Amino acid sequence: MSKLPVNGTHPPLGTLIHDDTIQLVSVLGNGGYGVVFLGVDISSKRRRKYAVKCMSKAKGRRTAHVRELNFHLQVTGHPGVIECYGAVEDDNFTYFIMEYATSNDLFHQILHEYRYLAQDDTIKYVFLQLIEGVQHCHKMGVFHRDLKPENVMCFDDGHRVAITDFGLATSDSSSCEFRTGSVYHMSPECQAGHFREDAYSPVANDVWSLGIILVNMVTGRNPWKSATKEDPVYQNYLQAPLTFFSSVLPVSNPLNNLLVRVLNPEWKARMSLHDFKHAIQDISTFYSVNVHFEGNLASSFTHITLILMSLAAHTLDSGTVGRILHLNSILWLILILILIPTRHLLRLFHLIPRPSALGSCARSGKGSPCRDRRRRMLGWRTLLGPPIGITDAFLHLLLM
């Protein structure tokens, strides 16, 4: 292995590893775990590409690296799991050499390529692959605990998917390790909040995460920020679980019924992976008849109604609102648009991120002014994720 200087957190581009046969040529991604490089086999004419996950050995992390590697090797060999070919190390870093995903990750496909919106057959085909990958891991005694779109790699323009990143995985069928994973996709029992017990099931935790990913794929949204008592949107779900999703998202009745079972806050009553798979196979459409697609998001007339009625309730007198509600829905929608003061509608227009702008920002280079604008837009997109969130934001602005 080449002895090249490092910059502290990761080796420089051009570093050679694996007996000087694989060169690190570019950065594919980075995070708290370290950096993922594109590695090229320079010893052969094929110049095969690899994803090389590089992690610092500082602070005694080597034990965690060995644990992650063992879990990944244990489940390697299934099409729903990224292939891991092994690991090498030097004095400063551990390198996992893995299969290179040619189409980025599921997060990219959802947010930037709009790959699955309005595509019932594609959603079903891809999500069933994801379920089968998780089933394989569980069969091998490995429970992921950090399933999210960023940890699902894509091939063939997002039509084939495979799971990666087993850094938080466990082989324990019952766990007392709380807050493992990413908050948006973490189950309520894993949050160690209101629903905390002595132990929870990592199997059921993975099922919950898959349910959130399904909402991401179908609507481009997160249903809430965190499944905790501090999240008002999640609390709204707990108060009316049977009608929550269909009231704020453009989901079909079969999908609504499925989500209620998959996202059951009581993990012991949560749907099994086996039943989850068969339920997905039986769904003919994931969308309601009043769905509206714009950019990377799916909305519904109910969503628009919720926002406009909230605006009306704070800008029109109750008698006017009451008379409007007795009219045909299209007529009262037109009337509300006419009657609500223009300044409030302008606020609404400026707060909603335009998907085309979001896409152009995603393509901007490092350090561009568009980068900060994209970060702000993504913040509002989180409020959009469920529609009721942005309604609350509007009400806050109206009452200022």
Neighbours of 160 (CB within 10 A): 17
Distance CA(52)–CA(164), nearest Å, equals 12
Rg (CA), the chain: 23
CB 172 within 8 Å of CB 145: no
Q: What is the per-residue pLDDT for 286?
A: 98
Catalytic residue among 20, 105, 146, 317: 146
Distance CA(185)–CA(367), nearest Å, equals 29
Does the annotation mark 172 as catalytic? Answer: no
Q: Annotated binding site for ATP: which residue ranges?
A: 53
Q: What is the per-residue pLDDT for 88?
A: 96
CB 189 within 8 Å of CB 251: no
Residue 215: is it exposed, middle or buried by C-beta count within 10 angstroms (0-12/13-18/19+)? buried
Give helix 342-351 / helix 387-398 axis angle, nearest 10°.
140
pLDDT in tens, the chain (400 residues): 443 444 557 899 999 999 999 999 999 998 777 899 999 999 999 999 999 999 998 877 889 999 999 999 999 999 999 999 999 999 899 999 999 999 999 999 999 999 999 999 999 999 999 999 999 999 999 999 999 999 999 999 999 999 999 999 999 988 888 888 889 999 999 987 545 557 899 999 999 999 999 999 999 999 999 999 888 889 989 999 999 999 889 999 999 999 999 999 999 999 999 999 999 999 999 999 888 888 888 877 655 555 555 555 555 455 554 554 444 555 555 555 555 555 454 444 444 433 333 333 333 333 333 333 333 334 324 333 444 344 444 434 333 3
Record the tokens describing residue 108, joined without a space.
């990219």
Containing H/E element for 170? none
The pTM for the full model equals 0.77
Domain range annotation of the chain: 15-99, 104-299
Homologous superfamily, domain 104-299 = Transferase(Phosphotransferase) domain 1 (1.10.510.10)
- Strands, E assignment, the chain: 16-17, 22-31, 34-41, 49-56, 84-89, 93-99, 152-155, 160-163, 291-294, 297-300
CATH fold of 15-99: Phosphorylase Kinase; domain 1 (3.30.200)
Beta-bridge mates of residue 31: 34
The 8 Å CB, 24+ separation contacts for 187-192 are 187/227, 187/267, 188/227, 188/228, 188/234, 188/265, 189/267, 190/145, 191/226, 191/227, 191/228
Distance CA(306)–CA(390), nearest Å, equals 10
Counts of helices then strands in the chain (DSSP H, E): 15, 10
Distance CA(152)–CA(107), nearest Å, equals 8
Half-sphere exposure of 202 (CA within 13 A, CB side): 26
Distance CA(305)–CA(369), nearest Å, equals 34
Beta-bridge mates of residue 54: 35, 95
Distance CA(14)–CA(40), nearest Å, equals 10
Closest CA to 51 of 93, 13, 100, 17: 100
Contacts (Cβ under 8 Å, ≥6 apart) of 288: 246, 250, 251, 252, 253, 300
Q: What is the per-residue pLDDT for 317?
A: 54
